[in-house]
Structure 1
Amino acid sequence: MKAIALLTAAAISVTIGVSAQAQFNGREDPMPVTAPKIAEQYWSAKPTKPTPYAAPNKVHWKLSEILAAHRGQTDWVQPIVRNPEQDADYISLGAGKKTKRRMYADDRVVWIVQDGAMRVSIDGTEPFVATKGFMVNVPFRHYYSIETVGEKPSLRFEVRQAGSAPLYPLDETPDARPGYEYVKVTGTPGPSKDRDTNPIYVDFFKQIANDDKNYNGKFVWDDHFTSNILRGKAQPIAPATSKGHFHGDWTEFWFIMEGKVGYQIEGYPYFESEPGDVVTAQKGRWHRPSNAPGAPISTRIPFNPRPVILHNFATD
């Protein structure tokens, strides 16, 4: 085995605008660490064979290919990520269509609007219209619905707890779920107070991408869901010998928000991704994301099931 060193970057708590609410505005980080890195080297277990990509998981889902596969359709779901912790889909909802009101029992659901416009209604929040670049967070046990507004379908990239089944109010008819039946119940405790520490939405292109500055801030963080906003200027492509890091316990994936992001992932040559693409590094694979030299500034949105996920860096 090789000696491995740790580098973990603690994301900065920042306020990104009144309309998005405060992100950890003066509050204690929900998962604090004692230092930015571990002082000494250590041994970390790494799979001798790279963890395979089982469908629908792919190292690189290109938005252009997804749209081509669904050309002529208005309502569709394209599974993108399936792992033991998180599920992610691209979802198109036709013009004038509306989802049933639903909620999730124990974990949030978030999405990024890629195209079109939608009216989002979340219990306890004034309805708002989300357009391209909006990042939306629904706390657990809050009913919500989505309605496409305008003359074209809305398209979103949605991330949920793996295998999580939606719950419905009694005035809705639940969608059939193989192997399950829906029964009437009552429950405790009540809805999450998540809005105290996480924004309900971020209007990325208005609040973040309104200048040429780097940005490293949290979107949503809890003990079971982590997503940052990582924005930076173009960088030279590192040599292939620079392996980056790996995560021993979790799979990480990214949504590309703007610009071009380059990746070197174990088992694959360097490639570049564009807005709307989704890139995945399976558990245990070396990976090195960087802002590609072909765009002045780029942003990626990582998704992880735990904060603060451990980054194991090579020492040679």
Structure 2
Amino acid sequence: MVAAMTDLDLNLLDALDALLSEGSVTGAARKLGLSASAMSRTLTRLRNATGDPLLVRAGRGLVPTPRAIELRDVVHALVRDVRTVLKPPTGEIDMAELDRVFTIRASEGFVEMFCGPLVAGIASAAPRVRLRFAPKPDKNAEPLRAGQIDLEIGVLGVSAPEMRTRLIFRDRFVGAARTGHPLLSGAITPERYAACRHVAASRRGAFTGPVDAALADLGLSRDTMVVVPGFSDALRIARQSDLIALVPGLGFRRKAPGAEGICTFPLPVPTPEIAVSAIWHPRMDADPAHRWLRETVIGICQKMVPDS
């Protein structure tokens, strides 16, 4: 008979985790510091609770049932989460001893602009911490959910409502043209802007974006001749041609690499503001080392762009 939920206790989870990971009563007993007979009695309780034999005899050993195999990873995660919940709060982190690899996913432009000060600041505070900057091909939140990415810098996607975010800075797109471009010789109206040929930066390969929607409201359209993956690529083309690029304005306030030989101008049509945030999975909220990482990243970036 399956036991009522009120008869269960959390100690059974530990025992079930040990039994499923060790695959034997003796091994589980040794792992938990119990006698084999005590673990055998616990296995009986677990069988009653789950309504499944869990481990059955096969020759001299035991093999898991299909239900046990199904439960193994779930139980292990539950035990880990219970231990996290019940673990007493730790004291201050010893930054000199913190030995951890953090993976930060960010755009190429962010890495170009901020990685130098970030690396210097983190290395100074925690010399044993290592950083891995991962490319950001899209806004897919699965790497954050899976723990492959510790911290993401960018704009939150609509498919990840559970993620924690904190605003770092705000930015707006600006137009960019080579020094001496004819467009810069007079007032930049929507009509003159739309009459130029353009280069767009899009990881998805899109030829249109918010600026095209704003132009369409005025009955205008632009001719986008080239689409490249990143803003630095768009600037490189704009510098060597008459194509107009659309890039975040912050890079030019910070004299980012690739800005030489380029003049920027306010767009003649309104476009949405860019809110760049730090993004992380909620399971990392209470982790002291992760808290230190995100506070450090946010603080350094905001110090670099105090007027954003």
> Do both proteins adopt the same fold according to a TM-score greater than 0.5, normalized to the shorter chain?
no
| Structure with more contact order per residue of length (Cα contacts < 8 Å, sep ≥ 6) | 1
Rg: which structure is higher?
A: 2
Bin for the TM-score computed over the shorter chain? under 0.3
TM-score (norm. length: structure 1): 0.22
TM-score (norm. length: structure 2): 0.22
Per residue, is there more strand in 1 or in 2?
1
